[in-house]
Structure 1
Amino acid sequence: MMKRAVICGVGHYLPERVVPNSEFESTLDTTDDWIRSRSGIERRHFAAEGEMTSDLATKAAQAALADAGIDASQIDAIILATSTADLTFPSAATMVQAALGMEKGFAFDVQAVCAGFVYALSNANALIVSGQAERVLVIGAETFSRIMDWTDRSTCVLFGDGAGAVVLAAAEGEGGTDDRGILATDLNSDGRYRDILYVDGGISTQNTGHLRMQGKEVFRHAVEKLAETAETALAKIGMTGEDVDWIVPHQANIRIIQATAKRMGVPMDRVVVTVQDHGNTSAASIPLALSIGRANGQIKSGDLVVTEAIGGGLAWGSVVLRW
């Protein structure tokens, strides 16, 4: 017997404002067709004025808790993956903790940009397997609309705001691949590639800055590294792409998603795709897709699911789990 971290609840939240591609046509040299053909994105959501990352995260967390049928008081820890926290400090996770009415436990943020949720999920798994927590609320939430350069058509049309969350709970497993819960993880980073995806500002520079990206370079690294990390995690438990029921990838670009699935030998009808409706929501994209995939009847109990993501850093990784 061994301890496993099992997803027992999932939820998401999207801001009310929906921004179709056509909205950019009046301010940028771009078209709906251009954006769709290069990214697969058709629309995205933007947070309202005064609506913070912690607000989005709290609503996603409440949905996940309701799905799990438990109260926030039963949660031992909150891990919030975000690159767009409300304040320099305290962490957005502690703001969610307060909003949920939690008076015990601990909460902290994880910053690995688009790979943030995979990093957070891996950390939550370690807390549960080591016995430091029984139930962990893992959230990905972003307001990337706040760091866009609205004159840069190559980046500002790609991103959106949103939040997704899962409740992980400790359960006993047999130690085999039939166990429910997280079965394997793989995390990586390489700071040498900082300049291909970054924000040109921060606390030390006393300038909020804007997102900057070398699209072709990011694409090249993404396809190679996403397939590799997924295959590495699967190999740890003696599995391959043929064993996978669903890939739930970071939703950055439909061409990256398609190329990664092809390299893994997984057909697109076994890939959860939401990029068309939400754009790239960074750390929120995988939990958003998990929630929607489950709600749509795609992901079912017992399914083998692979999540993989890459973001600025570069940071990338994957998690293999049985739903």
Structure 2
Amino acid sequence: MTLYSKIIGTGSYLPEKRVSNQELAEQLAAKGIETSDEWIVSRSGISARHFAEPEQNASDLAVLAARRALDMAQLQPDDIDLIIVASSTPDFFGSFPSTACIVQRKLGMTNTSAAVDVQAVCSGFVYAMSTADSFIKSGAHKHVLVIGAEVFSRILNFEDRTTCVLFGDGAGAVVMSASQEPGVLATKLHADGRHADILSVSGHVSNGALAGSAFLYMDGQAVFKLAVTVLEKVAHEALAHAGMTSEQIDWLIPHQANIRIMNGTAKKLGLPLEKMVVTVDQHGNTSAASIPLALDTAVRDGRIKPGDVVMMEGVGGGFTWGAVLARM
């Protein structure tokens, strides 16, 4: 019997603190930094973002999203035999114990299922989904909880208006389970370390102290040029692997980073903008959480229905990119 992986539940969570462009502009003005709602919207399409409270970590957001995905899947935490968390802002600076293990504990799980973090920045969720798909198809795992969770507000330099206005915090999750019917139709992952310096947090620990910068750095122009090119290519690669064409895509869910990149991707794939799920206007760029947040939004508002074909794709620091083509 051929095994497939299928998404059977989605969930998401946004911190309660919502910050509009106007509110952020006023906060920056107090530091002598000028920006405006018009400036931010015209360059990114972002109108607002959510910021976690100081006591909220990535695992806290992840658990809330995970519980909602588990409820939709009608599963209990101990039904899960693998947790994969994609995050660039893990609970601990040294990245261990893994945020996945902390999520396991906070979910009250006692079945000693496997738990691991994946780091591919904004591509993290598609990397994690592809990993889950492989494990399920191999027969190693039956129910996998895949989470993207970020508290990017912790690594933003609020004196750099080119980056601090773009990012937000949040989490999204899916439950992927073994199925006799095809769910995930194709996955494709790439990385090119030659571009590692265009999107990074360069700080590191040395002798118990931070060496370098703990703030996010981004060469926006370089990221934009690469993103538009690779997103089109990886989507076509996934479609070719599944023996399908872009006309068979019901919904496009690109990484929610910049509306201009997203619109350009849809145009290159020949898809009408009405077929693209957009949440970047209200969430900002939530990195590894952006795709599952958008997916859950569209599932819960009824746009994405059982049987629909969804193309999910992301780009991130590394430079990494990838796509997952799935039938819901």
Length-normalised TM-score, structure 1: 0.96
Displacement over 4 Å in runs of 4+: none
Which letter does structure 1 place at the counterpart of 2:160? D
Q: How many pairs were matched up?
A: 317
After TM superposition, the structure 1 = structure 2 runs for residues 131-280 of structure 1, keeping only pairs within 5 Å, are 131-173=139-181, 179=182, 181-204=183-206, 206-207=210-211, 209-280=214-285
Equivalent residue, structure 1, for 2:322:
317
State the 1:171 CA deviation.
0.7
State the 1:49 CA deviation.
1.2
After TM superposition, the structure 1 = structure 2 runs for residues 6-17 of structure 1, keeping only pairs within 5 Å, are 6-17=6-17
Q: What does the per-residue CA deviation read over 1:276-301, in whole Å, with 9 as the maximum and x for residues that have no partner?
A: 00000000000000000111111100
Equivalent residue, structure 2, for 1:176:
none
Equivalent residue, structure 2, for 1:55:
60
Q: Secondary structure at the match of 2:163?
A: coil
2:74 to 64, 69, 79: 69
**Are residue 44 (structure 1) and residue 49 (structure 2) matched?**
yes
Equivalent residue, structure 1, for 2:120:
112
251-260 or 17-26, which deviates more: 17-26
**Are residue 124 (structure 1) and residue 128 (structure 2) matched?**
no
Structure 2 CA distance, aligned partners of 1:16 and 1:237? 40
State the 1:202 CA deviation.
2.6
State the 1:209 CA deviation.
1.0
Structure 2 CA distance, aligned partners of 1:34 and 1:2? 52
Q: What does the per-residue CA deviation read over 1:239-289, in whole Å, with 9 as the maximum and x for residues that have no partner?
A: 121110001110000000000010011111000000000000000000000
Structure 1 CA distance, aligned partners of 2:141 and 2:243? 28
Q: Secondary structure at the match of 2:302?
A: coil
| Identical amino acids, percent of aligned pairs | 54
Structure 2 CA distance, aligned partners of 1:222 and 1:254? 12
Structure 2 CA distance, aligned partners of 1:73 and 1:294? 24
Which letter does structure 1 place at the counterpart of 2:166? L
Gaps of 5+ in 2: none
Which letter does structure 1 place at the counterpart of 2:199? L
State the 1:24 CA deviation.
2.4
Structure 2 CA distance, aligned partners of 1:291 and 1:247? 13
Gaps of 5+ in 1: 174-178
Structure 1 CA distance, aligned partners of 2:161 and 2:84? 33
Q: Secondary structure at the match of 2:75?
A: coil
Q: CA RMSD in A?
A: 1.0
Structure 2 CA distance, aligned partners of 1:266 and 1:3? 31
Equivalent residue, structure 2, for 1:305:
310
Which letter does structure 1 place at the counterpart of 2:218? M
Q: What does the per-residue CA deviation read over 1:193-247, in whole Å, with 9 as the maximum and x for residues that have no partner?
A: 0111111213358346110111111000000001110110010111121110001
Structure 1 CA distance, aligned partners of 2:17 and 2:230? 33
**Are residue 18 (structure 1) and residue 26 (structure 2) matched?**
no
Which letter does structure 2 place at the counterpart of 1:266? L
Structure 2 CA distance, aligned partners of 1:183 and 1:112? 22
